[in-house]
């Protein structure tokens, strides 16, 4: 029998080999790995569907639908509840590759150094102040995209705060966040991490959804009115090629108006 530490090592190695084989053999296959409840609990209406190969990475308080070719998540999903962000856990700032991805599937810290882009969280660290595990997992590079530094610390941070305020008002919301790739292809680092042209955030309450789409550049500040960037879910689906709610039940065509105090009126 292998010692416990070696057994864990070999189980992880075997899992990664099996994952690699699936991705090579099935170009549009979605595979799941990680330690979430059942890898669906953070989605509003089923796992978002993509036409490209993805890996679904289950975490304590978010799920990443990850593209190992672009080296970024396509969708990061949360069921955001106040008890998750009302804790006292400090920000970790421990960025690291995702341990459930093979080296050739992941970005590296060096890809971002000197790139001119921030390591932009899709599920923000500020959502996870009640759990050391969730805070640490938020710094996995499978939750990160290259983001304009001014946008990251400015209007995007304000949108994240507004979303927490909305979750507090309503009790909980589902949140989907990710990149859009339009126009000329741009990459950073030796691993050719794809740079988004824009970034979206979709907030779902019941059957209603508010969607925001912002170009990936420094933008004028907005504290409580993000309506200039508000779009429909269908517009984000067309821009990304994703289907966000395959089980239906969420209105993807209308502009919702919940949490107008946080987001402004559309």
Feature table: binding site: 152
What's the chain's length in residues?
266
Is 9 known to be catalytic? no
Check 119, 121, 164, 210 and give the catalytic one. Answer: 121
Task: Output the known binding site for Mg(2+).
Answer: 152
Task: Give the residue numbers annotated as catalytic, written as ranges.
Answer: 121
């Amino acid at each position: 029998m292998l010692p416990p530490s070696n057994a864990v090592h070999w189980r992880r190695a075997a899992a990664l080999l099996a994952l690699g084989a699936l991705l090579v053999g099935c170009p549009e296959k979605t595979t799941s790995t990680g330690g979430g409840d059942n890898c669906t609990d953070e989605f509003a209406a089923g796992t978002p569907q993509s036409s490209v190969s993805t890996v679904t990475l289950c975490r304590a308080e978010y799920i990443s639908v990850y593209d190992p070719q672009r080296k970024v998540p396509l969708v990061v999903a949360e069921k955001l509840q106040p008890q998750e962000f009302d804790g006292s856990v400090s920000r970790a700032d421990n960025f690291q590759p995702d341990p459930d991805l093979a080296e050739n599937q992941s970005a590296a810290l060096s890809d971002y150094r000197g790139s001119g882009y921030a390591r932009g969280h899709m599920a923000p660290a500020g959502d996870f102040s009640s759990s050391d595990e969730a805070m640490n997992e938020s710094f996995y590079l499978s939750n990160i995209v290259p983001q304009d530094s001014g946008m990251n610390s400015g209007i995007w941070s304000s949108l994240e705060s507004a979303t927490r305020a909305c979750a507090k008002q309503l009790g909980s919301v589902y949140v989907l966040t990710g990149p859009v790739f339009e126009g000329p292809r741009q990459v950073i680092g030796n691993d050719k991490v794809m740079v988004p042209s824009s970034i979206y955030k979709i907030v779902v309450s019941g059957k209603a959804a508010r969607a925001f789409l912002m170009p990936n550049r420094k933008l004028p500040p907005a504290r409580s009115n993000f309506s200039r960037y508000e779009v429909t879910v269908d517009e984000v689906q067309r821009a990304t090629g994703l289907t966000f709610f395959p089980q239906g039940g969420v209105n993807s065509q209308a502009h919702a108006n919940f949490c107008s105090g946080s987001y402004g009126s559309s």
